[in-house]
Amino acid sequence: MSLIANIIRSEVRDLSAYHVPDSAGFVKLDAMENPYTLSTEMQQALAERLARVGLNRYPVPSYSALKSAIKRQLGVPPDYDLVLGNGSDELISMVSVACAKPGAKVLAPVPGFVMYAMSARLAGMEFVGVPLNADLSLDAAAMLAAIAEHQPAIIYLAYPNNPTGTLYDTADIEAILRAVGDTGVVIVDEAYQPFSPVSFMSRLAEFDNLLVMRTVSKLGLAGIRLGYMTGCPALLNEFEKVRPPYNINVLTEAAAEFMLEQVAVLDAQAAQICQQRSLLAAALAALPGVQVFPSAANFLLIRVPKAEQVFAKLLKQKILVKNVGKMHVLLENCLRITVSTPEENSLFLDAFSASL
């Protein structure tokens, strides 16, 4: 259609929209969501809190109360400010917009979170993907070589990585931070921090080029869409300039403040998921022909012969997992399974065993 060709950028025409499959009626193990719901008492208390929200007014744009709650409850150093986003997706977009100087590049290990590349291209930046090793560990030498060659403005390191669950070696991340210096920003994306034993949050003071980005989605609040990012105050000030005004709505703000008062409940749920992750990994590894990759997230990546057929058989049994085999050559015959409740994990295991 000539209208589209005339007005839409070629980079956008070449992209595919982010696809989310219909999950109605399925055991939903494809999106790394927390499977636990709130107690009846907590739901009632939250409803009462939300009922008091003034929907006729814009949010107070400083979000000072919400930022204070995040810093107090989620381990952000008290002397660091935050930039808030409508999920981490918006934060990634904001960074791209701010850094999209002519010729600027974005670099990240691949396979990785698809929004790093998509956001770069939407901002008119070149994306450089550095393949992981065959065991899905970080190829530190290749990363350092790519940094030297491309001088990227933005480097993303998902910690742990999606879709692999890999937790990169701390020394490798330190080497990348030092190699980049003041030529770029290194964003350590800790979306899965509730399930990981380590974090770079406490090391912000060591590196002016380090930003730590997180979301509350995996913690159990995927529906409210809230991400946050912290680091060097001068960098945050620049990213704040491209943040859309009132980007966190009043219902998200009120729900987040309420839930952060109850963060011990969410932390207990995360601990249950970590326990179930170990049990599920052991059960899968005991099945013939199944390779289970180490994971520090709330999902497991597995490799199985004829994964496409297994995926299709699971669908017929109303079990929805993520078929990642076509995302990258390193993920051939791989499926990604969200760790869920004992009941749903058992349903998956029965269906999966029957599908092999």
For position 141, what pLDDT does the model report?
98
Q: Within a domain: residue 330?
A: yes
- Residue 14's pLDDT is 83
Residues 172 and 218 both lie in one domain: yes
How many whole angstroms separate alpha carbon 250 and alpha carbon 179?
A: 41
Joined tokens for residue 121: 């291209």
Q: Is 11 in the same domain as 99? A: no
Same domain flag for 78 and 227: yes
9 and 137 share one domain: no
- Grouped pLDDT means (10 residues each) for the chain, 356 residues: 86 78 86 95 96 95 96 96 97 97 97 96 96 97 98 98 97 98 97 97 97 96 97 96 96 97 95 98 97 98 97 96 96 98 98 95
In this structure, is residue 150 part of a structural domain?
yes
Same structural domain, 69 and 182: yes
Cis peptide bond prior to 77, omega within 30° of 0: no
259 lies in some domain: no
Pair 121, 175 in one domain? yes
> Does 235 lie in the same domain as 126?
yes
Same domain, 182 and 140: yes
The answer as to whether 257 is a domain residue is no
Q: Of 248, 278, 301, which residue is a domain's last? A: 248
Residues 313 and 273 occupy one common structural domain:
yes
pTM for the full predicted model: 0.95
Closest CA to 139 of 186, 178, 184, 107: 107
DSSP output for 151-215: --SEEEEESS-TTT-----HHHHHHHHHHHGGG-EEEEE-TTGGG-S--SGGGGGG-TTEEEEEE
Co-location of 131 and 216 in the same domain: yes
**In which domain, by residue range, is 67 found?**
55-248
Q: Is residue 322 part of a domain?
A: yes
